[in-house]
Homo-oligomer: A and B are copies of this chain.
Amino acid sequence: MSDTETLVRGILDGDRISVSRAISVIENDLYSDRALRILEGINPRTGNAHVIGITGPPGVGKSTLIGAMVPRIAVDDRKVAVVAIDASSPFSKGSILGNRIRMQESLTRHGIFMRSLSSRGLSGGLSFSALGTIKILDAAGFDTIILETVGSGQADLDVMLLASTIVVVLAPGLGDEIQAIKAGIMEIAHIFVVNKLDREGAFQAIKDIEDVLATASQGEWKVPVIGVSASNGDGLDDLNSAIGKHAEYQARHRDRRSSVRMELNLIVESEIMKALRNAIEEDSRVTGIIDDVSSGARDPFQGSRMIMGALSQRIAGKK
């Protein structure tokens, strides 16, 4: 068996070391043939996990909330994995990392699989590595996959679209509850959580969010706003029940075509980006065009059309 086949076999057997190694392959070598072959190998065994996305601004207590929710989700032998996305900032604060580490220690004690993913400088690649990670965990038999992002940019929010239940966490006193809802979060949130319920302004924050929701056109799923206190446990059962209800709702209404469309888009985008990078590095026609534009012999738009021509031949060769 090839190394890749061994890895695929290990994943399907639920072996955590294989799972970790496979995720590293995807993360480190995003557009490699090996990454795609692993995903292709496990694909028939995917499609069963419930993916819960949890996002919100820094400081609202997402890690604490996840730490408190996981024991409630991991009942009846349900296997749970947590994937923390670190698209955040090249300037990110140490405190975020600290919370993550505390969450990880607590989760690991409970036998929960926990993994951090970073973007490694490839903008746009984060959704693809998150998709790959979800598929690997799904194929390894995890029933619930929790995807956490710090909501610090569009790339973070794009990752949320991979989840079938999206929970947006806010907290009182941040002063941006309403801005958050206005900024396009409304369209993607299935559940709102106001954490730190014991703090001043919590009930006002809940009301503010409900008011905005009331004015928006909603579908059949009515987005609930749930007050919780992750630290003392208040409201966590309500949240768990809302997540369960949304999972049932999704199972009935799931738009398989739209998630397939997104998935195909990500795979094709990755393949093309790989082809483009390779072409710019090594294709002599393309490097010649770059030289011509650099010397002023061609304008960049003429040059880019010529590169597209060369690239289409390379892509066509991959059919």
Contacts and interface: CB of A to CB of B under 8 A. Distances in A.
Interface of A: 36, 39-40, 43-44, 56-57, 87-94, 119, 121-124, 126-127, 151-158, 174-176, 179-180, 183-185, 256-257, 260-261, 263-265, 267-269, 271-273, 276, 280, 289-291, 293-294, 299-301, 303-309, 311-313, 315-316, 318-319
A95 to B, nearest CB: 8
Nearest to A95: B175
Residue picked from A91, A264, A300, most chain B C-beta under 10 Å: A91
A316 B309 contact: yes
Contacts of A56: 91
Contacts of A57: 89, 91
Contacts of A264: 280, 289-290, 293, 300, 303-304, 307
Contact of A260 (B119, B126, B265, B290): B290
A89 B153 contact: yes
Interface of A is mostly: helix
Nearest to A270: B304
Nearest to A120: B154
A207 to B, nearest CB: 19
Copies in the complex: 2
A276 B280 contact: no
A307 B315 CA distance: 10
A91 B158 CA distance: 14
A318 B305 CA distance: 7
A88 B87 CA distance: 12
Contacts of A39: 301
Contacts of A265: 276, 280
B91 A267 contact: no
A229 to B, nearest CB: 21
A168 to B, nearest CB: 9
A157 B90 contact: yes
